[in-house]
Amino acid sequence: MRVEEFMENFVDQFAAVEEALDEARKELNDADLPDGIGPLRLSKVEIANIVVHAGGFTIDDRADKTAAEKQNESLIMEGLDELSEQLYLHQYPDTVSEVMDDFHRDMVSLIRLIPSLMRPLSPVIRQFKVETTSRLSTSRKFETLLSLVEDLLDDLPDETPNYALRVLDEVADFSECMTIVTEKTEREDPVPANDNVAAA
């Protein structure tokens, strides 16, 4: 499928995407949640799956795809990834400080419901309050937050309620969106400008 064809089809299908997102959110929040928890948000992966399937896009598994077909498919997937991330972020307030306030309220609710989380959540709550002055410092704040939450999720006991896992996953997903991704490329060391050798 060409990019232009896909875009025309997707515009027609976008109402179906929105309807599928609304249904998934309703199903998520119709669960029996304790006071102070919710509304829960869909994860980035859940939104991406809905966007791809409700939008009518399927990966072409043919082995004989041309270079142009592969490029079109790559462009479509890149566009869908971007759209999915924007739809994910659209679930949150407009400013980062408002999002941090919401997350802080969520953490307080979790501690009230599961007092054993007070100690592991304390570093996360402190990180919410870290002030940033640039896009780079904001990215570093969220890199740290993502690392803290991922470590916490790895150490939680098996009996941790699903709603607690979802709230923590929301923090991790949002932090990942706020982190500047840099590609690591293998580079050869530069050729020295002289042949001096460091003393042994």
Residues 85-104 pLDDT 10s: 999 999 999 999 999 999 99
Would you state the pLDDT for residue 6? Answer: 67
pLDDT grade for 194, boundaries at 50, 70 and 90: very low
Which of residues 15 and 109 earns the better pLDDT score?
Answer: 109
CA distance 11 to 182: 32
Q: Is the pLDDT of residue 196 over 70?
A: no
pLDDT grade for 188, boundaries at 50, 70 and 90: low
Would you state the pLDDT for residue 142? Answer: 95
Cα dihedral across residues 170, 171, 175, 176: positive or negative: negative
Residue 195 in tokens = 């042949």
Residue 84 in tokens = 């999915």
> Assign residue 33 a region: left if phi > 0, alpha if psi is -120 to 50, beta otherwise?
beta
Please write the tens of the pLDDT for every residue from 135-166: 999 999 999 999 999 999 998 888 899 999 99
Would you state the pLDDT for residue 183? Answer: 53
Would you state the pLDDT for residue 171? Answer: 96
Please write the tens of the pLDDT for every residue from 32-91: 889 989 899 999 999 999 988 876 666 777 788 888 878 888 887 888 888 899 999 999
Q: Mean per-residue pLDDT for 4-19?
A: 76
Q: Mean per-residue pLDDT for 110-117?
A: 94
Show me where the domains of the chain are located. 3-89, 96-178
CA distance 156 to 151: 9
φ, ψ at 150 (rounded to 5°): -60, -45
Would you state the pLDDT for residue 119? Answer: 93
Which residue, 7, 138, 175, 185, is CA-closest to 83? Answer: 7
Cα dihedral across residues 161, 164, 166, 169: positive or negative: negative
Place of tokens 């590609």: 183
Which of residues 188 and 100 earns the better pLDDT score?
Answer: 100
CB 140 within 8 A of CB 129: no
- Alpha-carbon distances of 136 from 26, 27, 75, 140, 180, rounded to whole Å: 36, 37, 27, 6, 8
